[in-house]
Amino acid sequence: MTRAAVRAGFDRFVNDAVEATAEHFDVARALRRGIDGPGGSVVDHLLNDSDAVRKRVVEPELATYRRRVVAQFDAILDFAESDADIDAHRESILERDPFARGIRSDVPAERREAIVEGLLERHRRLGEAAVPLIEAPEDDFWDAVRSTLDRETAERLVEERFVITGPVREHTDAIEMSTTIDPGDVLGGLGGLLGRGIPTLTVEYTDEAIRAMGEAEQVVIAEAKREIGRRFDTSEGP
* Whether residue 129 has pLDDT greater than 70: yes
Higher pLDDT, 46 or 221: 221
pLDDT above 90 (res 236)? no
pLDDT tens, position by position, 77-127? 999 999 999 999 999 999 999 999 999 999 999 999 999 999 999 999 999
* Share above pLDDT 90 across residues of the chain, in percent, rounded to a whole number: 65
Q: Is 1 exposed, middle or buried (0-12, 13-18, 19+ CB in 10 A)?
A: buried
pLDDT score, position 150: 94
**pLDDT score of 188:** 64
Question: Directed axis angle between helix 3-24 and helix 59-81, to 10°?
Answer: 150
Q: Which of 71-85, 185-199, 207-221 has the lowest mean pLDDT?
A: 185-199
Q: What is the three-class DSSP state of 146?
A: helix
Are 158 and 222 in contact, with CB atoms under 8 Å apart?
no
**Looking at residue 190, what is its pLDDT?**
45
Q: With 90 as the cut, is the pLDDT of residue 185 above it?
A: no
Query: Region 175-190: what's the mean pLDDT?
Result: 80
Cα-based angle 90, 113, 80 (whole degrees, multiple of 5): 25
Among the listed residues 56, 67, 81, the one whose alpha carbon sits nearest the alpha carbon of residue 4: 81
Confidence class of residue 53 from pLDDT cuts 50, 70 and 90? confident
* Predicted local confidence at residue 4, as pLDDT: 86
Are residues 119 and 182 in contact, defined by beta-carbon separation less than 8 angstroms? no
Residue 50 has pLDDT above 90, yes or no: no
Alpha helical stretches, state H, the chain: 3-24, 27-34, 43-47, 50-53, 59-81, 90-94, 98-101, 109-135, 141-148, 151-161, 183-187, 189-195, 206-236
Residues 204 and 178 sit within 8 Å (Cβ to Cβ):
yes
pLDDT confidence of residue 195: 47
* Whole-angstrom distance, CA of residue 169 vs CA of residue 30: 17
What average pLDDT does this structure show over 18-33? 92
Mean pLDDT over 175-203 rounds to: 72
DSSP 3-state assignment of 56?
helix
Contacting residues for 217 by C-beta, under 8 A, at least 6 apart:
17, 162, 163, 164, 165
Mean pLDDT for all residues in the chain: 88
Q: What integer pLDDT is reported at residue 167 of this predicted model?
A: 92
